[in-house]
Structure 1
Amino acid sequence: MTENELAKIVVGLCLKIHRILGPGLLESVYEEALCYELAKAGLHFKRQQGISFMYEEVKMDLGFRSDVIVEDKLMIELKSVETVAPVHYKILLTYLRLTNIKLGLMINFNVELIKNGIKRVVNNL
């Protein structure tokens, strides 16, 4: 399955979750619901995965934690905030570069219409 096919599935799941739960809950609630839906869909994912990275010649054991990585091809960063700051997209792009993952989704559930809360971030896709 390609990155774009995975993203389409995840966006559909987020639409379902937002329709059922609505905006305004904690990020962890949406993460739990998304992981439940991913498992139900039979997709392999990692949740709160610690990511190591190379700096010069040294492997750093824990650089950051990704909210969800689907099929080792799609990184999902979840938010439940009034406004996603521009720096959040830059952070996601850095995560993508460090992991060599090509596509990320920044998903903010704290919006009236979830389609307005989903943004793609690409790394040489």
Structure 2
Amino acid sequence: MPQKAQRLISKAQISVPSVIKKVSEMPSYPHSDLTSKIIGLGIKVHKELGSAYEEKVYQRALYLELQRSGLKFEREKEIAVNYGKVRIGKKKLDFIVDGKIVVEIKKVDNIDNVHIAQVASYLKTLGLEIGLILNFGKSKLEIKRVKV
């Protein structure tokens, strides 16, 4: 290992094996590069706006950031709610990014099982694997990946 790298590691008081172990313990998610980009945009919105606004404000701000990023996305995508083969309703989800990732914006005290179930049902209906819940209701953006 180069001396400069060794000095940086010793200054940071970490060992290379511990860093490698932490990275290897991280769960693997489909489309992790894309979800990381979306999360980065969410963090940018949260840093700018904080946690004081209603959900719609964060949705609009993330819309602007997604546009600027050049990512392909759909906003307020309407999906059918079926009972058997009969359509009984419809639901609008906040975003689908690149046809792969469902993104739901929340402004709640905590992400709860009901929010996870909501995104999981969207994923199953659309035949997708991964979704994100971005909760702007805390001092730090709360993020939950949902995988089906």
TM range (shorter): 0.7 to 0.9
Find the counterpart in structure 1 of residue 85 from structure 2: 57
59, 64, 75: which one aligns with 1:36? 64
Match of 2:38 in 1: 10
More strand by share: 1
- 5+ unaligned residues in a row in structure 1: which ranges? none
Instruction: Report how far residue 57 of structure 1 moved.
Output: 3.4
Asked whether the 8 Å contact 1:3–1:102 carries over to 2, the reply is: no
Mapped to 2, the partners of 1:24 and 1:107 lie a distance apart of: 15
Query: Which protein has greater RCO, CA pairs closer than 8 Å, 6+ apart?
Result: 1
Structure 2 counterpart of 1:102, one-letter code:
E
Distance (Å, rounded) in 1 between the aligned partners of 2:78 and 2:88: 8
Q: What fraction of aligned residue pairs are identical, expressed as a percent?
A: 34
Deviations 1:64-110 (A, max 9, x none): 11111101100001101122221111111111101111110011001
One-letter code of the match for 1:31? Q
Which residue identity lines up with residue 52 of structure 2 in the other structure?
G
Amino acid at match of 1:18: H
* Structure 2 match to 1:97: 124
Aligned to 2:145: 120
TM-score (structure 1 length as normaliser):
0.87
- 1:55 deviates by 4.2
Please name the residue that 2:133 is paired with: 106
Bigger helix share: 2
Residue 52 of structure 1 deviates from its aligned partner by 2.2
Q: Bigger CA drift: 95-104 or 79-88? A: 79-88
Shift in Å at residue 28 of structure 1?
0.7
Structure 2: gaps (5+ residues)? 1-29
Aligned length, in residue pairs: 119
